[in-house]
A and B are shown apart, each in its own frame.
Chain A
Amino acid sequence: MNKFYFPGLILLAYSLAVISCNSPEVIHDLSKDSFSLLNQDSASVQFPADFEGDILVVGFIYTHCPDVCPVITAKLNNINNQLENKSDVHFAEISFDPARDTPSVLKNYMQSFNLDPKKFTMLTGDSVTVDSALNKMDILAKIAYTKTNEEGKRSYLMNHTNRILVMDQRGRVRFEYPGSVVPEKNVIEDINRLR
């Protein structure tokens, strides 16, 4: 009997090992978290619960950033355009500068970059809630360069984590990438691994 079942057990163990190797680990688990944020239309969004059931690709930006953040936005847009099957994928961009990035500012940003409002959600909120959500995903941002113009108006730049991440259908972060430089095809391959 042992001789009969032994090859089967080996095959089963091998199959389980292969499956577990192909299944990426959970990096951050937000499945039990709910952050009350606002979208570009000032509507309340529970993050990430409202996206449950979809694969969510998340980028982190601030709209006063002219160089790295637009690259991240362009990457997300390219990924959306290059996906063959978009039905179960949504994109979100969370601002780490909620003081300046109000819903209307995010809406203008979204329109400037021709982001599809059916596939993209821009998120902001009160700074405490935004910071809590960012901390949960290990995203850092801090004011780094402040300038006051002749009229006394203060402007600033931020140092920030440069990242895109992919959450699975249950709000768990499964993949992370260097946001402005990751090849789009790598993200698309990983999205397909979650299906």
Chain B
Amino acid sequence: MTERTIYWIFWIPILLIMVSGCSSPQEKQKQQQPLSGDLEITKAWARPASRGANSAAYFTIYNGTSDPDTLTGIKSEDTAKAEVHESYVTEDGLSGMRPAGTLAIPSGDSLLLQPGSFHVMLMGMKRNIAVGDSIQLQLQFSGSGSQTISAGIR
């Protein structure tokens, strides 16, 4: 075995380890999880509310397609209006809420709508919704078109 062979036997494994270490854990996870090809909406639920009052809906969107997508709008036959809002803390430490506009979801990423953060504000419920009921939400995406989901009330 020549000195050059020993040199490469020593250094090649080290170089391989260094190159694989450059990937972030998220990138590794992405590499390990092949894209499903679908836009998946899971864990949908909403809060109870009486007729005329407001409620909020939450869910998780996973963009398993190879293209970025954007949540552009929401409709529900059970409400006068639905908008994506964001809860935030103001400069003076108060709890506030503001419209969030459209929300982009890169390919392979998830968007979480959850209490204290992004949520769908359901304005002016057309009927009482109590624990155990459900409502239908129609979500509009720029790429994937329209998807209707059912959100359980809890």
Cβ of A66 and Cβ of B121 under 8 Å apart? yes
Is the CB of A137 closer than 8 A to any CB of chain B? Answer: no
Q: Write the A138-156 contact mask toward B (1 if CB under 8 angstroms, else 0).
A: 0011101100010000010
Considering only residues 15-68 of chain B, those with a C-beta below 8 Å from chain A are 47-51, 53-56
Known: A112-B128, A144-B96. A71 touches B122 (CB 8 A): no
Known: A112-B128, A160-B94. A67 touches B53 (CB 8 A): no
Cβ of A112 and Cβ of B50 under 8 Å apart? yes
Known: A114-B131, A180-B116. A68 touches B53 (CB 8 A): no
Cβ of A109 and Cβ of B50 under 8 Å apart? yes
Considering only residues 98-155 of chain A, those with a C-beta below 8 Å from chain B are 105, 108-109, 111-114, 140-142, 144-145, 149, 155
Cβ of A68 and Cβ of B131 under 8 Å apart? no
Cβ of B116 and Cβ of A68 under 8 Å apart? yes
CB distance from B150 to the nearest CB of A (A): 19
Known: A66-B121, A70-B47. A159 touches B53 (CB 8 A): no
Q: Write the A3-32 contact mask toward B (1 if CB under 8 angstroms, else 0).
A: 000000000000000000000000000000
Residue in B87, B92, B122 with the greatest tally of chain A CB atoms within 10 Å: B87
Known: A66-B122, A67-B87, A180-B115. A109 touches B53 (CB 8 A): yes
**Chain A residues with CB below 8 A from B56, complex form:** 66-67, 70
Considering only residues 91-106 of chain B, those with a C-beta below 8 Å from chain A are 92-99
Known: A66-B54, A70-B56. A140 touches B47 (CB 8 A): no
Query: In the complex, A63→B53 CA distance in Å?
Result: 7
CB distance from B88 to the nearest CB of A (A): 9
CB distance from A128 to the nearest CB of B (A): 21
Query: In the complex, A181→B94 CA distance in Å?
Result: 14
Cβ of B94 and Cβ of A161 under 8 Å apart? yes
Known: A70-B47, A108-B53. A181 touches B116 (CB 8 A): yes
**Nearest residue in B to A108 (C-beta to C-beta)?**
B50
Is the CB of B90 closer than 8 A to any CB of chain A? Answer: yes
CB distance from B79 to the nearest CB of A (A): 11
By Cβ-Cβ distance, the 7 closest A-B pairs, closest first, are: A66-B56, A108-B50, A162-B95, A159-B96, A159-B94, A112-B48, A66-B54
What are 23 inter-chain pairs, A to B, with CB distance below 8 A? Answer: A63-B53, A66-B56, A67-B87, A67-B115, A67-B121, A71-B115, A112-B49, A112-B128, A114-B48, A140-B94, A141-B94, A144-B90, A145-B98, A155-B123, A157-B96, A157-B97, A157-B98, A160-B94, A160-B95, A161-B93, A161-B94, A161-B95, A180-B95
Q: Given A155-B123, A160-B95, 17 more contacts at CB 8 Å?
A: A63-B54, A66-B55, A66-B56, A67-B85, A67-B119, A71-B115, A71-B116, A108-B53, A109-B50, A112-B50, A112-B128, A140-B92, A140-B94, A141-B94, A145-B99, A157-B98, A161-B94
